[in-house]
Structure 1
Amino acid sequence: MADEEPRWLDVPTPDVHLKALSWGPEGAPIALCLHGFPDTAHGWRKVAPTLVDAGWRVVAPFMRGYAPSSTSADGSYHVGALMDDALRVLDAAGPTGRDVLVGHDWGAIAGAGLAAMPDSPFDKAVIMSVPPAGSFRPLGRVPDAGKLATMLPRQLLRSWYIMYFQLPLLPERSAEWVVPRLWRQWSPSYDATADVALVLDAIGTPENWRAALGYYRATIRGSAPPPRYADLHEHWLAPLRLPTLYLHGSADGCASADYSRWVEPALPPGSRAEIVDGAGHFMQLDRSDDVARRILDFVGP
């Protein structure tokens, strides 16, 4: 099945119209794969065949604001909204009771929220490249806080784009140079030419680019989500409940793999954290075989 072309799944909701790629047979347990920034659902294309060959159906939505999914009618790009989208895609695909969640970057942030839900519909979670926020809360009880503090200045330099996105006007005109720069910084050994083109197709227009910036603006500014997302939004900072595999690349230029030392002790029973040697931030692409093997080893066939 390695050469199977994905099918399209349409998921209309009251706020957004989502489009998802689907590999594998309907009725099989679902691996719901959530991408991040600046990426698209196509970023799962190298991992999907291995999971499909092992019996999974891979469903990968284009996150809200990433064409061909629509932008938000509510103007909401809060984590609770991303969680709601994921649940609606799972419902549309046909949940089996044996489904798992795989999230990368913003998909990892939403995935951590879904893995923290007391009634999550997923069996297990795989969180990639962005540590669950609950690993560092409450700050007053984080182990080895002094070591964590020494890492913050370098992280602030790496996260320059987050503060840049808070500026008025200027960020709205920067997609053409920000996207390729971040790919070069974050996965330096990977030829991202094709993926950068896919990303610019998805968020290169002014409307879609503003939506992508909206994820960072909603989170940094702490704005309240619309009421329809408020209950879900409460979970994204909470400790995880699902057995979780945390993966981080040793060559990730976005965030240091050293954060795993705080993630692993905070994970629930049946979980583990692993460093993927040589992988950058976009590990599902630059070390796809290794990542697919680790996912399968955790979730099973």
Structure 2
Amino acid sequence: MKHGHVVANGVDISYVEEGDGPLALLLHGFPESGESTYRHLIPALAEAGYRAVAPNIRGFAPSALPADGSMRLADLVADANGLHERLGGDGNAVIIGHDWGAATTWGAAHTEPERWSRVVVSDVPPLAFFGEYASTYEGIERLNHFWFFQTAMADEVLAANDMAWVRQVMQDKWTAADYDATEDFEAVKKALGEPARLHAAINLYRMNFAPQEMGTPEWTARHAELWGEVPAQPTLYLHGTEDKSVVMDAEDLAAVGASLSPGSEAAFIQGAGHLVPAEKPVEYNERVLRFLGKELSSTS
């Protein structure tokens, strides 16, 4: 894999890439890195004829900290669409996202649809479903890090003892019981090992889910405008059956699939927790490549 960087939306964004062809932009979540999350998908996409590019989102080393400190989702969306432009993407580009990268992907594909021909999302469903889940008893309990991260002590707790809290929650809650998250955690330490970077990452939650504004009409309208509409493009949604953060059953998944545009699919990845692209790479890659292959055959 080659390493590069480019200024997009005013922020110097670092990335890894492999392959030549239409752009495939791969967006990671918290607290990971692009290279780690998509270490299995990048070479598979390259072999399939794509230029697979996995950036580290703003603030996550070695990408720059934003000068204005903003970690708002609107800026992440603008970063993604800016990367499309700066990397020479065209209308055949595809966008792929997990976790925070999923929310960013929903927003980028909706706000500037001409940039992206196909959309792949895992682990965070569309806002209509995620927002409803997050306000239920189960959602509040299982997404309790959203609320813990609002506290001043979160920075200290996450940094203490070589980021032991992060290591434990990744292994015990955010991945399936039989998955070894060691490699993923080592990537976390590289991306967020500096206090300023860890603070920026926590600010994803403080700035987008601030307790004084979350749930207000203004907050709801802002998020609805950004990622409240499902993309018009064909979309593949994948979800781990062992996800203990965002829990979905067959009825939930069917409802998500029914909400997506024509040509879309929704499927479970059996045995995966919340980190689907890394936990079950064979199944995940097969689903993604088969879905993208439909695009290639339909335009040939």
Coarse TM-score class (shorter-chain normalised): 0.7 to 0.9
Q: 1:14 to 1:289 in 2, by over 3 A?
A: closer
* Partner SS state of residue 253, structure 1: coil
Task: Give the drift of 1:154.
Answer: 2.1
- State the secondary structure of the residue aligned to 1:33: strand
Retained in 1: the 8 A contact 2:235–2:260?
yes
Amino acid at match of 1:216: Y
Tell me which of 194, 201, 214 is aligned to 1:212: 201
Runs (5+) with no aligned partner, structure 2: 215-221
**C-alpha distance in 1, partners of 2:208/2:165?**
19
Query: In terms of mean alpha carbon deviation, does 7-16 or 231-240 score higher?
Result: 231-240
Q: d(CA) in 1 for partners of 2:174 and 2:16? A: 25
Aligned-CA RMSD value: 2.3
**1:173 and 2:163 aligned:** no
CA change 1:234–1:269 in 2 (3 A) is same
Give me the TM-score of the superposition, normalised by structure 2.
Answer: 0.86
Deviation at 1:155, TM superposition (A): 2.1
User: Judging changes above 3 Å, is the alpha-carbon distance between structure 1 residues 127 and 289 closer, same or farther for their aligned structure 2 residues?
Assistant: same
Q: Secondary structure of 1:235's match?
A: helix
What letter corresponds to residue 171 of structure 1 in structure 2? A
Instruction: Give distance in 2, aligned partners of 1:232 and 1:22.
Output: 31
Equivalent position SS for 1:234: helix
Say yes or no: does 1:249 pair with 2:258: no
Could you report, residue by residue, the CA deviation over 1:16-44 in whole angstroms, capped at 9, with x for unpaired residues?
A: 2110111112xx01111000011101211
5+ residue gaps in structure 1? Answer: 1-5, 140-147, 224-230
Match among 11, 33, 51 for residue 16 of structure 1: 11
For this pair of structures, how many residues does the alignment match? Answer: 277
Residue 75 in structure 1 maps to residue 69 in structure 2: yes
**Displacement after TM superposition at 1:124 (Å):** 0.7
CA deviation after TM superposition for structure 1 residue 14, in Å: 5.7
Letter of the structure 1 residue corresponding to residue 168 of structure 2: R
What is the match of residue 142 of structure 1? none
Relative to the length of structure 1, the TM-score reads 0.85
Q: Name the structure 2 match of 1:160.
A: 144
Residue 199 of structure 1, aligned match among 176, 180, 188: 188
For 1:233 and 1:178, locate their aligned partners in 2 and report how far apart those are by CA, in whole Å.
Answer: 33
Distance 1:14 1:131, change over 3 A: closer
User: In structure 2, what is the Cα distance between the partners aligned to 1:82 and 1:278?
Assistant: 30
Q: Deviations over 1:69-112 (max 9, x none)?
A: 01111111111111111122222221132110100000000001
* Mean CA deviation greater in 85-94 or 275-284: 85-94
Cα deviations by residue, 1:207-245 (Å, 9 ceiling, x for unpaired): 00111011111111259xxxxxxx999322233222110
Q: Which secondary structure state, in structure 1, belongs to the residue aligned with residue 271 of structure 2?
A: coil
Q: 1:297 — aligned with what?
A: 290
The CA distance in 2 between the partners of 1:252 and 1:273, in whole Å, is 15
Identity among equivalent positions (%) equals: 33
Q: Would you say the 8 A contact 1:113–1:233 is kept in 2?
A: no
CA shift in 2, pair 1:299/1:98, >3 Å? same
Which of 15, 20, 25 is the matching residue for 1:32? 25
- The yes-or-no answer on 1:235 pairing with 2:235 is no
